Amino acid sequence: MAIQQTLILIKPDGLIKSLTGNVISRLSEAKLTIMGAKVVRVSRELAEKHYEHLKGKPFFEELINYIVGDVHKTYRVLALVYQGENAITKIRDIVGDTDPEKANPISIRGSYGRITTSGVFENVVHASSSPEDAEKEIKLWFQPEEIVEDIYPIKEATLNNVKKIVWA
């Protein structure tokens, strides 16, 4: 069994529907450790980097509008980093299938997700799908000082004459 990290995002639909508590309760069933948490106002640049692998898909623009908050007029997501044994599959099991209609009804996406008339999967949460994706995503969403332990190598960098700790 491997110790893994995973990035969870509670998306704008989750926030506007007041699902934050429900989602975190469901995630706690995995008995993992929270390593970082923050509310983020998502820029288009961050959204496009996060969903880089889907560039060119017909739903890409709508997906970006959704995650930045334009669709729900709710300009925030809650970002969480969890760590523990087999964290990625444990969390993905609780989160459910990408398509809310195919997701197990007792999963988070099965319970709370929906497909909009424009065909976007409003599936409430994001969860990393491999250790490689988790590392890339956590480094994109969090600075080293925002995570309670050094989960990946760090280094000192000088930006505008200010010393700063960044991911190595």
Nearer to ligand DAT, 56 or 119 (CB): 119
Stretches 36-44, 89-97, 109-117, 125-133: which one binds Mg ion (CB under 5 A)? 125-133
- Is 126 among the catalytic positions? yes
Return the residues of window 32-61 that contact Mg ion according to CB under 5 A.
Answer: none
Q: How far apart are CA 82 and CA 137, in angstroms?
A: 12
Q: Is 94 in the site for ligand DAT (CB under 6 A)?
A: no
Q: How far is CA 63 from CA 21, 56, 87, in A?
A: 24, 12, 25
CB of 119 to ligand DAT, least distance (A): 6
Q: How far apart are CA 138 and CA 161, in angstroms?
A: 26
Burial 105-115 (b: 16+ CB within 10 A, else e): eebbbbbbbee
Name which position in 62, 129, 135, 136 contacts Mg ion (CB under 5 A).
129
Nearest to 64 by CA among 44, 92, 80, 89: 44
Name which position in 69, 123, 138, 142 contacts ligand DAT (CB under 6 A).
123
Name which position in 24, 34, 59, 131 contacts ligand DAT (CB under 6 A).
59
Nearer to ligand DAT, 77 or 144 (CB): 77
